[in-house]
Chains A and B, each alone.
Chain A
Amino acid sequence: MFKKFISLEWKAFFRSSALTGNLVITILKIIGALYFMLLFVGMSFIAYFGAEDSGSEPLVAVNKYVLYYLIADLTLKLLLQKIPVINVKPLLTLNIKRSTIVNFAIGKTLVSFFNTIHLFFLVPFTIILVAQGHGGISSLLWFLGILFFIYCNNFINLLLDSKTNLLVGFVVIVGAIIGLQYYGVFDVTEYTGTFFYSLYSTNYMVAIPAVLLIVLWVITFKYFRNHLYLDTGLSKKHEEARTENYNWLNRYGVLGTFLKNDIRMIKRNKRSRSSVIMSFVFVFYGLLFFTGALEMYDNTFMHMFAAIFVTGGFMFTFGQFVPSWDSAYYPLMMSQNIKYKEYISAKWWLVVIGTIISTILATFYLYFGADIYLMIIAAAVFNIGVNSHLVLLGGAYVKTPIDLGSAKQAFGDKKAFNVKTMLLSLPKMLLPMALYAIGEGLIGKHWGVILVIATGVLGFAFRNTVFKMIEKVYKTEKYSTLHSYKQKN
């Protein structure tokens, strides 16, 4: 039976429009995956030899941070992991045991990227341990212990999916732990470090993660088996709807009409809400750069890169997919008497408002100096003046249908965020970085910021031209866009 399931999955994968559609993006995705693999392998070397260089016993030092490693893993899984589903509905009435269906669905999550990626860290790290004279069996037990925890995270993610409130609680607890440690009140890693080390130093402690894993597995299995009914786990959650009229937007005419809809869309769909959450995360992305935490990022060139991201998170995650956000009802839009210009302006205003809000949220970067915030403001101007147009123009060619209602329960598919979005936005970073480098390097202090702002302002002058271009793309691409939007994954 499993063989049949696997062949179904195989077909689903190779016949998906994502794969048959765009070769370039598929290749970029593969490159992205390879990059992460190398990154994790590299990390294992840095973790061991870095700790050794700083004069501490590597395994002790690493174990101190295992807690954060696991927390980061769980957070990423909660936020990003699509819960892979085999399309179970058609299978329910066939001659297949329910437990087989559930086992396969669970098994599929075990081999997902979010779990396997850790092997690229753990396996080389364990090999280094053994090669450097640590006990073979002990190292293996440690390896298994950590791996079990990773898989525990996998099940926690499955169980917590669609329970956003719990996620908030989780974030608060983690924040508290980090805060307490940072201010030296209570260092939880002292204890967890000892615990994780005991996986290595004793033969029996590995039983704890093993038992935990088995318990979680059984709970997940039972949960899914009991919810494998059309009116429970497989049913759609119905939110209570409230009619919102936003009458204050009426004065903007048709532009207001579209804005109203866009606001409702963002509020009421999981997919679009997650893009808002992502853009919020992006606001803090600059911390990696401006705090000097990472030496290779601590130069003005990379600061500009960060500034663009800090202010443009929403622009990139949302703007990238205009008009795909409206893909579900694109035939309606195309047969209504719609003024493209107003339609595009509404989206433009939306990304501009998003950028302004991000810029305001980013005022805490003033802590790192007025120059840094000046840079962020320059990046905001550039984003609004230049990138907003580029993003919308790029979006006109992106013909991936977006499944807004992908917020299904339990076995639902969650397409929160994808690598594609990130990769497509890279060129929009490089121009301001180059401008900044030229201004700062060749002319003098503050000229980088001035150059970036000037280019941003100049971008406004081309607004109508770009809007006309986008309109033209919408018109010439209309039929093929309509066709692509029909192909639902």
Chain B
Amino acid sequence: MIKVHNLKKAYNGTVVLNIESLEIPKGESFGLVGNNGAGKTTFFSLLLDLIQPSEGYITSNNIKINESEDWKPFTSAFIDETFLIGYLTPEEYFYFIGDLRGFNKADVDALLAKHADFFNDEILGKKKYLRDLSKGNQKKVGIIAALIGNPEVIILDEPFANLDPTTQFRLKKIIREIADDPNVTILVSSHDLAHTIEVSTRIVALDKGSVVKDIKTSEETLKELEEFFAV
């Protein structure tokens, strides 16, 4: 589904991301781990054409991301709060995204009903604009909005951060469900090794912009990663 070809991103000569080749097959649940500044968000931003690669390119479904926009209909993402429209209520925001992604009101409502327990009754009908929600609740909205429109590629940056333990647990369930769908490729990044291992079938660790580990998740994965990150 996603292929990385000699991808390099540099700012004023400092290389922040350098991935020679990486292939993420369709249906994979892909976990990206690494320390601050390892290049996780840079990689996701490149995947969404929010920044330009210095060299090389990424293809998604054989579409060159930095040249065509045809990847947009089947890709969705939640990176940070800049993906939320602060002055909308959660409902308005979901319907807006629905309009853009070909989901009518009923479709959106069905999706929201399905994830009612994830919202924990803190989101819908609360008479609050998104900008007035807490960080954790904003994140819930962003994550569910990224599921609207049956995307084939879902990108979630640090989805577990700011969530309370119960919601983290529910989120893991949601991601695992998505991972079970052979048509959906999901990419999740996190600082939390344990969470990532639980939801991903494959884990790539980045360090200073390069891939340092690329492992299929197994019983030993956590140990292996912990050893790597422990200094």
Contact = CB atoms under 8 A, between A and B. Distances in A.
Note whether A and B form a binding pair: yes
Contact of A331 (B72, B82, B92, B126): B82
Interface stretch (A20-28, A232-240, A315-323, A430-438): A232-240
Contacts of A334: 48-50
A336 B51 contact: no
Contact of B132 (A236, A242, A328): A236
Interface in A258-272: 260-261, 264-265, 268-269
A404 interface: yes
Which of B82, B85, B87, B97: most chain A Cβ within 10 A?
Answer: B87
Nearest to B142: A332
B95 A331 contact: no
Contacts of A257: 96, 99-100
B84 interface: yes
Question: Is the contact region of chain B dominated by helix, strand, or loop, or is it mixed?
Answer: loop
B101 A336 contact: yes
B92 A329 contact: no
Interface in B58-108: 69, 72-73, 75-77, 79-80, 82-89, 91-92, 95-97, 99-101
B114 interface: no
A330 B100 contact: no
Interface string A219-248: 000000000000000001011111111000
Question: Is the contact region of chain A dominated by helix, strand, or loop, or is it mixed?
Answer: helix
B1 to A, nearest CB: 17
A243 B128 contact: no
A265 B97 CA distance: 16
Contacts of B73: 337
Q: How large is the interface on B (under 10, 10 to 19, 20 to 34, 35 or more residues)?
A: 35 or more
A336 B129 contact: no
Given A328-B82, A329-B83, A335-B48, A243 B129 contact: no
Given A328-B82, A336-B72, A405-B86, A238 B100 contact: no
A479 interface: yes
Contacts of B132: 236, 238-239, 241
A242 B89 CA distance: 7
Interface in A301-360: 328-332, 334-338
A360 B109 CA distance: 41
A332 B83 contact: yes
Interface string B117-147: 0000000001111011000000000000000
Nearest to B132: A238
A264 B96 CA distance: 12
B52 interface: yes
A261 B50 contact: no
A265 B82 CA distance: 15
A242 to B, nearest CB: 7
A335 B129 contact: no
A486 B48 CA distance: 16
A261 B96 CA distance: 8
A257 B103 CA distance: 13
A156 interface: no
Contacts of A216: none
A274 to B, nearest CB: 15
A479 B51 CA distance: 6
A329 B85 contact: yes
Contact of A329 (B48, B77, B84, B126): B84
Contact of B101 (A243, A264, A337): A337
B50 A482 contact: yes
Interface of B: 48-52, 69, 72-73, 75-77, 79-80, 82-89, 91-92, 95-97, 99-101, 126-129, 131-132
Interface of A: 236, 238-245, 254, 257, 260-261, 264-265, 268-269, 328-332, 334-338, 404-405, 479, 482-483, 486
Going nearest first, the 8 A-B pairs with the smallest beta carbon separation are: A337-B72, A257-B99, A268-B87, A332-B83, A335-B48, A331-B82, A241-B129, A243-B89
15 contacts: A238-B132, A265-B87, A269-B87, A331-B50, A332-B83, A334-B50, A335-B48, A335-B49, A335-B83, A336-B100, A336-B101, A337-B72, A337-B101, A405-B131, A479-B50
